[in-house]
Structure 1
Amino acid sequence: MIEENPHDSESLKKVSGLYKDWFLDYASYVILDRAIPSVYDGFKPVQRRIMHSMRELEDGRYNKVANIVGNTMKYHPHGDASITDAMVQIGQKELLIDTQGNWGNIYTGDSAAAARYIEARLTPFALEVVFNPKTTEWAKSYDGRNNEPIDLPVKFPLLLAQGVEGIGVGLSTKILPHNFNELINASISYLKGKKFELYPDFITAGFLDVSEYNDGQRGGKVRARARITQTDKHTLVISELPYSKTTSDLIDSILKANEKGKIKIKKIEDNTSDSVEILIHLHNDVSPDKTIDALYAFTDCQVTISPNACVIVGDKPMFLNVSEILRMNTDHTVSLLKKELEIELHELQENWHFSSLERIFIENRIYHDIEEVKTWEEVLKTIDKGLKPHTKHLLRAVTEEDILRLTEIRIKRISRFDLNKFKENIAALEGKIEQVKHNLDHLITYAVSYYQNIQKKYGKDRQRRTELRIFDTIDATKVAVANEKFYANFEEGFIGTSLKKDQYLFDCSDIDDIITFRKDGSMKVVKVEPKTFIGKDLLHVAIWKKNDKRTVYNTIYREGKEGPYYMKRFSVTAVTRNTDYHLASDKKGSEFLYFSANPNGEAEKVTILLKPNPRIRKNKMDVDFSELGIKGRDTKGNLVTKYAVKKVDLKEEGVSTLAPRKIWFDDTVRRLNADGRGSLLGNFKGDDRILTVNTNGEAKLVSFDLGNRFDDDYLILEKWKPRQPITCIYYDADKEMYFIKRFLLENTPNVQTFMPSEHPKSFIENVIAANNATAEIVFAKDKGKEREPETVNIDEFIAVKGIKAIGNQFTKFKVKAINITIPETEEEEEPEPEEEPETNGNIDDEGGMIGDLFES
């Protein structure tokens, strides 16, 4: 039997108890005193101490940051490095600290100069909004030598304006910054009982999708994007950054994506200084539009940010949303304003009280009564006795302190006492008292006025920088660069990127999916790998896109070894990877006799040759796939024949049986789509084009590929009608008059310029792509004379000429405005081809559709 050590249990118990207490103490300290901000003033403790220290040193001039940091160490229990870093972060937010010197660069991530080289002072906004010693609650500093504020009396939603990040023990906080003016407007709306919405706004600008912001609480997210524009066919420029990223971050991520083959760029230049400018140079064979999408998909040009609004309320951490924080800040501001008014009212009343006492004391010459009094006590009693008959109208009783103040009045002041000036002073005090009482009675109105005044003084240059947009979902497989060569061994059934001795098929991306079909009627989708075994007798290998309804597969297959023959058309929109699908039949011996993959739903004609059979009058027949509807991949299809087939030959190439594609333009995301979002551009097929015309007088015809981007602001963005003339009304600054021209565009992908004047002050007034338009010319006053407006039928005014023509003079008089009227026309939509009626996939031998024609 093992003897137990009587000290073991006691020792373990003590250690666990100490661990629990110490850990809780440490966690509480980190959460409350270091990492998490207070909801009321928006500061972490170190930030609050910096602001308090700067207020102590404030004299209107700049102070060395090293001096401010040294003064702050009276209150802060940690070293100077943490204070300096915190102060630089506040300064870079451009709200509370007026900086001088090199404070770092938020765009490049360059750090600030040493604290001894840079200077700072409080901004006028900070002085007005953040401090008021009369309403501040104080506590002893960590060493007990000084007093420091528990919370600064901030009368503004500063926490939401600056944003904050912090990591405590077991929790963290991430509150995104919001726009100055929008916060004030939201506070005013709340005070007025109206609804409000708040969304983040960043100094680095960029784009922001807030569709899943969830009011800034846990579980929500936002997506931030850099602003990327195309300067020419081979150059992209990044001019604004996504929040939390620097130019160094972006360039590193772009170079890594290029090394991995996700994107293809020639070189990259960083010209960032006071503003962001990253130039991305592309190869001649690279699409700028596709590269922009790839940058968003594979680099830090797009980031997802998850807010987490954890704040200290009282002495406890709480998880709130942005609206709750704003309401709490606004309520706190109202309470501070009320407290300030109450203090001001008390001070005014005290001033009025003592001024009235002073008048009684001097007017009634009570100071003469104390000339013969010998003791101090008798002096006080004499004054008190002299005042009593005259103090009934006072706001409160006379105290000994009041009498002591009366004895301190100098003879010079008594001798110069002016009753009229005194009455004016009393009247002014009474007016102020009434105004303060009125403000207290109408506190909400006063608070609204306070916010409006703050906005008027400090909100002028604080417009929203980050543009809110709903982002389109970028399919990474569609924008990834085809950085791999893909091969196949059709006989042995191997596919992959490493089979360089076998048949080359196509270039693909390493994140693509590959669809394969075998002669036995099976299909499988796999990822791109160096080498994958699919199975012998491969028929078809291609890149597969999810939800692809345009690619249609036409097949004729035999059911089992000696079964009937069926035909079907189907598309593959969704699959499970690495799963065998039996598209012919799961009966043994089933196989494809004919297979074709058609990227735009083409339907060919084939000739079927039957094996000799005495029961058949004709052993040859033609089959047209266009007569067959497109069904699901699991459908059995239509019976072709129950007799043995010798072979199937292609007779005639097919054309698409799919309806013209309806294309919409979503102005929110500036992209095309086929999902009904935005404005309908029309039905597109084949070589149809989209016409874009910009303010520089450039027209361009682009395809209706859904991957195209339209980030510029266009005068025209619509389906191109080749025979529709374009009308341009422009002002020629050289000739100081308006011209009009009509022309047709050529079917070319190149930019077509139609603005004849190169003068920098020339401009395009209007561009019209419609018939029967009219223009109302409103004339400006000329030498005091007014001319009646003139209406012009554009089609009759000028004939169609070449695109390089100058055109005709539109009017010789000075123009005030040109109003265009375009008649409404209904576009004739092309009829959609009717689909085959749904057929029963289980047609027996006697009920065959095509086979019946050939039975004897």
Structure 2
Amino acid sequence: MSEEHYNEGESLKKVSGLYKDWFLDYASYVILDRAIPSVFDGFKPVQRRIMHSMRELEDGRYNKVANIVGNTMKYHPHGDASITDAMVQIGQKELLIDTQGNWGNIFTGDSAAAARYIEARLTPFALEVVFNPKTTHWVKSYDGRNNEPVDLPVKFPLLLAQGVEGIGVGLSTKILPHNFNELIAASIAHLKGRKFELYPDFLTGGLLDVSEYNDGERGGKVRARAKIIHKEKNTLSITELPYGKNTGDLIDSIVKATEKGKIKIKKIEDNTSSKVEILIHLHNDVSPDRTIDALYAFTDCQVSISPNACVIVGDKPMFLSVSEILRMNTDHTVGLLKRELEIELDELQESWHFASLERIFIENRIYHDIEEVKSWDEVLSTIETGLKPHTGHLLRAVTQEDIVKLTEIRIKRISRFDLDKFKETIASLEEKIAQCKFHLENLISYAIEYYTRIQKKYGKDKIRRTELRVFDTIDATKVAVANEKFYVNREEGFIGTSLRKDEYLFDCSDIDDIIVFRRDGTMKVVKVEGKTFVGKDILHVGIWKKGDQRTVYNMIYREGKEGPYYMKRFAVTAVTRNTDYALASEMKGSSVLYFSANPNGEAEIVSVLLKPNPRVRKSRMDVDFSELAIKGRSARGNLVTKYAVKKVELKEEGVSTLAPRKIWFDEKVRRLNVEGRGVLLGTFKGDDKILTVTDQGEARLVNFDLSNRFDDQYLILEKWHPEQPLGCVYFDGEKGIYYIKRFILENNFSTQSFMPSQHAKSFIEAVFVGNGVQAELVYSKEKGKEKDNDIIAVDEFIAVKGIKAIGNQLTKHKIRSVELHYPQESLVESGSEQILSEPEAENSDLPDEGIIGNLFEE
């Protein structure tokens, strides 16, 4: 090998080794010094350096952010832009930095003004909780010119309060912010040895489902939703945002979903300033409740967040849970408090020691002994000799440093020495020393008192902003707007959205499933596509919903080429897509003579015409499908005839044979369901309604569509019985009197207000439905005296009047509460309805159960 080639190989070998070492060094640097926060103070290095720099510049006044950034560059070896961005992020969290000027908007995503235009200073909370140079461990900065903290001595679970997000080399972290007061409560619970639970809380508010939070560990997730309210008839309003999204993100996602046809809206207005308000205007034919579900299903109004609590512990990254982080923070705080007490005790004892030395030095006139002494060493030895007879009670031995400090006492101070004042000072020091020792002996109690004081001082406005709620699962196929026109070519066997020259069937969404029945008695379910071959001789094409038991298919078919004729009724609740299912018979030549699809289980009457046959006297027979039980799709069915059939004709349209639907209300997700979750509202037929009554005196009727939303707080939510009167007890703020009224709601209303008084101090105390109600009045104390409760039979006290009536005066006394007592029979629906099971009918008499009284009151 030539020398040239040898040198080239040697050089390459060395470079590869360098790359390996350099990459490990770089990865360690990014993880430890840039991306991942410390578990103890909750800061990334740049954030820690910003806080240290602000404390260094702190004088009580605002500093230009540009000045703070410039000062921080003494400690942080990166550009000013990264420091400014990190500082703005801290400032927007409203905890550590008191901001002035345009610091951006977390709602709209608007960026902050330039660093030279905005100002900042530390908050009182930061000054009290984050800093203490006496308990800080210091190291040299990157250039060796300054000292910077390894960790700031933060006496609070700051990491969980602010949250953090960062990406390193092969590692990432995402810790969600939590509520200030809830963190303190959890820390106190940990110190007391009790269990606690912590859930995220966001400045942007919104709704949050934490059922899969998994204590913030890897593998868990939360679902965050925007808060959407039905503001007016055709207007929705987004008033709070999901975490990590701003109004621009939301509007962009809504526009994209609209362009794709997932949702149907008229226009969007963004009125956000200090509060979020995005108005979504709908067309008159669009359901607001269904649109809300569609917004959650197809836009950023609902997001899934996966936490990943990776933190630096010592000098290593670790994956922890939120509870583990809080325990470590709390234990670290106890350690810091202990260290502060120990330092304070040492300082107090030193003060007591020198004060005692000073008294000995002055009272015993030792300063006179050094008047004739000429050398410094003789001065020190003379003072030491003079002190020896009087130092037996001191806490430690007298040092040369103590003697030097005695020589520095001014003559003026010696001449004005006041023994009584000195004794007061010593007594005060001894009292503080005793208190300090007591706190050290009862350190946990001291830490609890510290947390309690911090909460009282800084936690008044730190209320929870994000509402915790269990979310309902939204079926996207049920809320998607029908944005595609669907066509069929029956002869050639094609279906799809691109066959515009063929037969139009219906509008559907592009995520729907399509069910197809053919004349040979086979069935198939496919996805919506431009053009799909499903087989020739198509009988029926429709939209298929998984688990749909109310759509019933009626069919008459021939078994084989010359076999008997059968009829059957069946529902299709579950299938495998793109699979052929034999509904008639697998015998070759089987065919369907009659088929109908019935969305509400209708059962018609058909006439079967037989071909001429000398053995058959009657060539026409009527078949009533309502006499058939609804069975599985693979069932053979009932025999119609063994003789040849000429044709089948519809004789009479059918009516539904299915039961009235049993509807439940799930209080956790505040939605209706038919699966038996929550409180049974009753059995509902086509025209039945649900009555809701708010504490503002507004009654509303809605249908029992499962897509309806009930996010508001209701005093009453139950099945509506038009004949039952509604009553309320209310306080007239103008007159200062309680009234009671009873009235019948008008038929077929949508929304009615029954509160007579619009005075600002007026309010509704209680609402009730039905007859035979008794109202127990629980009075408040007046002039220190208690008044016995009164029980009023409402029916006897007041008659049913008009909805606009003021009612009768109930009492002038102050009422603490009104307790309603219902007769047992009022909970049972008069004329019990027959409840039939689905899909097969069974007779069962069940009462309706309404939700009566203060359903949502906390």
- After TM superposition, the structure 1 stretch with the greater mean CA deviation from structure 2, 206-215 or 369-378, is 369-378
Letter in 2 for 1:715: L
Query: Does residue 189 of the first structure (1) align with residue 189 of the second (2)?
Result: yes
- After TM superposition, the structure 1 stretch with the greater mean CA deviation from structure 2, 788-797 or 590-599, is 788-797
Identify the residue that residue 835 of structure 2 maps to in structure 1: 832
Cα distance in 1 between the residues matched to 2:608 and 2:451: 84
Contact 1:35 1:166 survives alignment (8 Å): yes
Change (3 A) 1:7 1:212: same
Equivalent position SS for 1:714:
coil
Identify the residue that residue 572 of structure 1 maps to in structure 2: 572
Q: How does 1:513-552 map to 2 (within 5 A)?
A: 513-552=513-552
- After TM superposition, the structure 1 stretch with the greater mean CA deviation from structure 2, 608-617 or 670-679, is 608-617
Contact 2:175 2:308 survives alignment (8 Å): yes
Contact 2:486 2:496 survives alignment (8 Å): yes
Identify the residue that residue 343 of structure 1 maps to in structure 2: 343
Contact 1:605 1:654 survives alignment (8 Å): yes
Cα distance in 2 between the residues matched to 1:72 and 1:337: 28
Displacement after TM superposition at 1:571 (Å): 1.4
Query: Does residue 774 of the first structure (1) align with residue 777 of the second (2)?
Result: no
Identify the residue that residue 846 of structure 1 maps to in structure 2: none
Cα distance in 2 between the residues matched to 1:782 and 1:77: 70
Identify the residue that residue 313 of structure 1 maps to in structure 2: 313
Structure 1 residues 522-580: Cα deviation after superposition (integer angstroms, max 9, x where no partner)? 11111222222222111111111111111111222222222333332221122222222
- After TM superposition, the structure 1 stretch with the greater mean CA deviation from structure 2, 45-54 or 741-750, is 741-750
Letter in 1 for 2:771: N
Change (3 A) 1:16 1:390: same
Change (3 A) 1:709 1:349: same
Identify the residue that residue 744 of structure 1 maps to in structure 2: 744
Displacement after TM superposition at 1:398 (Å): 1.5
Contact 1:702 1:749 survives alignment (8 Å): no
Contact 1:667 1:678 survives alignment (8 Å): yes
Identify the residue that residue 418 of structure 1 maps to in structure 2: 418
- After TM superposition, the structure 1 stretch with the greater mean CA deviation from structure 2, 493-502 or 32-41, is 493-502
Change (3 A) 1:540 1:438: same
Identify the residue that residue 284 of structure 1 maps to in structure 2: 284
Letter in 1 for 2:339: K
Equivalent position SS for 2:150:
strand
Structure 1 residues 260-307: Cα deviation after superposition (integer angstroms, max 9, x where no partner)? 111111111111111111111111111111111111111111111111
Letter in 2 for 1:647: K
Change (3 A) 1:297 1:420: same
Structure 1 residues 458-495: Cα deviation after superposition (integer angstroms, max 9, x where no partner)? 00100100000111111111111112222222233222
Identify the residue that residue 129 of structure 2 maps to in structure 1: 129
- After TM superposition, the structure 1 stretch with the greater mean CA deviation from structure 2, 201-210 or 397-406, is 397-406
Contact 1:779 1:813 survives alignment (8 Å): no
Contact 1:224 1:243 survives alignment (8 Å): yes
Identify the residue that residue 816 of structure 1 maps to in structure 2: 815
Query: Does residue 623 of the first structure (1) align with residue 626 of the second (2)?
Result: no
Cα distance in 2 between the residues matched to 1:329 and 1:836: 58
Equivalent position SS for 1:596:
strand
Change (3 A) 1:692 1:45: same
Identify the residue that residue 69 of structure 2 maps to in structure 1: 69
Cα distance in 1 between the residues matched to 2:219 and 2:577: 31
Identify the residue that residue 477 of structure 1 maps to in structure 2: 477
Identify the residue that residue 692 of structure 1 maps to in structure 2: 692
Structure 1 residues 307-342: Cα deviation after superposition (integer angstroms, max 9, x where no partner)? 111111111111111111111111110111111111
Displacement after TM superposition at 1:112 (Å): 0.8
Identify the residue that residue 712 of structure 1 maps to in structure 2: 712
Displacement after TM superposition at 1:229 (Å): 0.6
Structure 1 residues 403-429: Cα deviation after superposition (integer angstroms, max 9, x where no partner)? 221222222222222222222222211
Cα distance in 2 between the residues matched to 1:655 and 1:322: 58
Equivalent position SS for 2:16:
helix
Q: How does 1:375-454 map to 2 (within 5 A)?
A: 375-454=375-454
Equivalent position SS for 1:765:
strand
Displacement after TM superposition at 1:170 (Å): 1.1
Change (3 A) 1:539 1:89: same
Structure 1 residues 498-518: Cα deviation after superposition (integer angstroms, max 9, x where no partner)? 223322221111211111111
Query: Does residue 331 of the first structure (1) align with residue 334 of the second (2)?
Result: no
Structure 1 residues 688-745: Cα deviation after superposition (integer angstroms, max 9, x where no partner)? 1111122333322211110001122122110011221222334445665444433323
Change (3 A) 1:747 1:590: farther
Query: Does residue 31 of the first structure (1) align with residue 31 of the second (2)?
Result: yes
Contact 1:628 1:836 survives alignment (8 Å): no
Equivalent position SS for 1:495:
strand
Equivalent position SS for 2:85:
helix
Contact 2:740 2:810 survives alignment (8 Å): no
Letter in 2 for 1:718: E
Change (3 A) 1:735 1:137: closer
Structure 1 gaps of 5+ residues are 839-856
Identify the residue that residue 85 of structure 2 maps to in structure 1: 85
Cα distance in 2 between the residues matched to 1:196 and 1:686: 48
Letter in 2 for 1:114: A
Contact 1:60 1:121 survives alignment (8 Å): yes
Change (3 A) 1:593 1:22: same
Change (3 A) 1:460 1:762: closer
Identify the residue that residue 119 of structure 2 maps to in structure 1: 119
Structure 1 residues 39-93: Cα deviation after superposition (integer angstroms, max 9, x where no partner)? 1101111111110011011111111111111111111101111111111111110
- After TM superposition, the structure 1 stretch with the greater mean CA deviation from structure 2, 1-10 or 55-64, is 1-10
Q: How does 1:496-515 map to 2 (within 5 A)?
A: 496-515=496-515
- After TM superposition, the structure 1 stretch with the greater mean CA deviation from structure 2, 175-184 or 786-795, is 786-795
Identify the residue that residue 232 of structure 2 maps to in structure 1: 232
Identify the residue that residue 96 of structure 1 maps to in structure 2: 96
Identify the residue that residue 206 of structure 1 maps to in structure 2: 206
Cα distance in 1 between the residues matched to 2:839 and 2:180: 61
Cα distance in 2 between the residues matched to 1:779 and 1:173: 56
Contact 2:631 2:840 survives alignment (8 Å): no
Cα distance in 2 between the residues matched to 1:14 and 1:146: 36
Equivalent position SS for 2:715:
strand
Contact 1:664 1:676 survives alignment (8 Å): yes
CA RMSD of aligned residues (A): 2.5
Displacement after TM superposition at 1:5 (Å): 4.8
Q: How does 1:143-292 map to 2 (within 5 A)?
A: 143-292=143-292
Contact 1:737 1:809 survives alignment (8 Å): no
Structure 2 gaps of 5+ residues are 842-858
Structure 1 residues 606-655: Cα deviation after superposition (integer angstroms, max 9, x where no partner)? 33344455555655444333333322222333444444333333343333
Displacement after TM superposition at 1:782 (Å): 9.4
The TM-score normalised by the length of structure 1 is 0.93
Identify the residue that residue 362 of structure 1 maps to in structure 2: 362
Cα distance in 2 between the residues matched to 1:812 and 1:642: 80
Letter in 1 for 2:110: D
Change (3 A) 1:528 1:138: same
Identify the residue that residue 10 of structure 1 maps to in structure 2: 10
Contact 1:777 1:815 survives alignment (8 Å): no
Displacement after TM superposition at 1:356 (Å): 1.6
Structure 1 residues 95-151: Cα deviation after superposition (integer angstroms, max 9, x where no partner)? 000111111111111111111111111000000000000000011111111000010
Identify the residue that residue 647 of structure 2 maps to in structure 1: 647
Cα distance in 2 between the residues matched to 1:837 and 1:761: 55
Identity %: 78
Cα distance in 2 between the residues matched to 1:595 and 1:359: 113
Change (3 A) 1:837 1:773: closer
Contact 2:383 2:403 survives alignment (8 Å): yes
- After TM superposition, the structure 1 stretch with the greater mean CA deviation from structure 2, 55-64 or 778-787, is 778-787
Aligned length: 837
Cα distance in 1 between the residues matched to 2:775 and 2:414: 84
Letter in 2 for 1:412: K
Change (3 A) 1:162 1:836: closer
Structure 1 residues 413-465: Cα deviation after superposition (integer angstroms, max 9, x where no partner)? 22222222222222211111111111111111111111001001000100100
Displacement after TM superposition at 1:658 (Å): 2.3
Identify the residue that residue 555 of structure 1 maps to in structure 2: 555
Identify the residue that residue 852 of structure 2 maps to in structure 1: none
